[in-house]
Amino acid sequence: MVIVAASDAPQSWKQQAQHICTGSGDQVAIQAAINANPKGVIELSPGTFNCDGDVNLSGGTFKGQGPGVTCIKFPDGGRLNSNSSSGQVISDFRVEGYGYTYPDWQGVVNIQGPNQTIRNVVGWADHTVQTVFFVCSNPAIGHPIYNVEFDNCHADNPRTHGFLHTQWYGSPAQYYTPIGVAEDEPVGVLKSG
């Protein structure tokens, strides 16, 4: 496990963290932690992470301390991307996106790979981005979309869409697996059809 501490994290978290953020450009420290432990556990401390660029997940677990405790802010076009085909767990934080170059067709949280679990994440975005949570089949990445689960996630009064699922325009059919909600599954669990 690699711990990343926010600039406003309690001192006890900073003492055990391998990476400590400055409060600006925090995606650099977060990405360094991910790159050092690409399929492992990345744990975010309590506090606010201000990311002015993308955070690209690569599998494993990426978690905070709960949506009322850990917040990741993406002003000016940053986003959280999960493109791994090996599975990813994303959990326990609040995410906010605002100030994108309008109009931006993606989301604040972009899921572009199979075997993804997004749990206990609350999101908000302003009107300059298409959605908060975006599931997209992208031929540039080449992963079909299946086994994507949203558990206890919600969009908190966004100024845009909360959740969107789409196929990349012009992508061949082999990149897209139809998704539906199975009748015997809780709402929010996406299963390949």
More confident residue, 155 or 85: 155
Residue 108: the pLDDT is 97
* C-beta of residue 70 within 8 angstroms of C-beta of residue 64: yes
Q: What is the pTM of this model?
A: 0.86
* CB proximity list for 61: less than 8 A, separation 6 or greater: 40, 41, 42, 88, 89, 91
pLDDT at residue 178 tops 90? no
Q: According to the per-residue pLDDT averaged within each range, which of 112-126, 135-149, 155-169, 175-189 is highest?
A: 112-126
What number is the average pLDDT over the span 164-181?
51
d(CA 66, CA 45): 10
What number is the average pLDDT over the span 47-75?
97
* C-beta of residue 88 within 8 angstroms of C-beta of residue 116: yes
Q: Which of 20-56 are b and which e, b meaning 16 or more Cβ less than 10 Å from the residue's Cβ?
A: bbeeeebbebbbebbeebeebebbbbbbbbbbbbebb
pLDDT at residue 100 tops 60? yes
> Domain tally for the chain?
1
Residue 142: the pLDDT is 65
d(CA 31, CA 29): 5
pLDDT at residue 174 tops 70? no
Burial of 72 from C-beta contacts in 10 A (0-12 / 13-18 / 19+) = buried
What number is the average pLDDT over the span 103-131?
91
Domain that includes residue 48, residue range? 2-192
Q: Within its chain, how far is the Cα of 165 from the centroid? A: 14
* Cα distances (Å, whole numbers) of residue 121 to 16, 41, 45, 141, 159: 24, 17, 15, 24, 17
pLDDT at residue 40 tops 90? yes
Q: H helices of the chain, where?
A: 11-16, 27-36
Residue 132: the pLDDT is 96
pLDDT at residue 177 tops 70? no
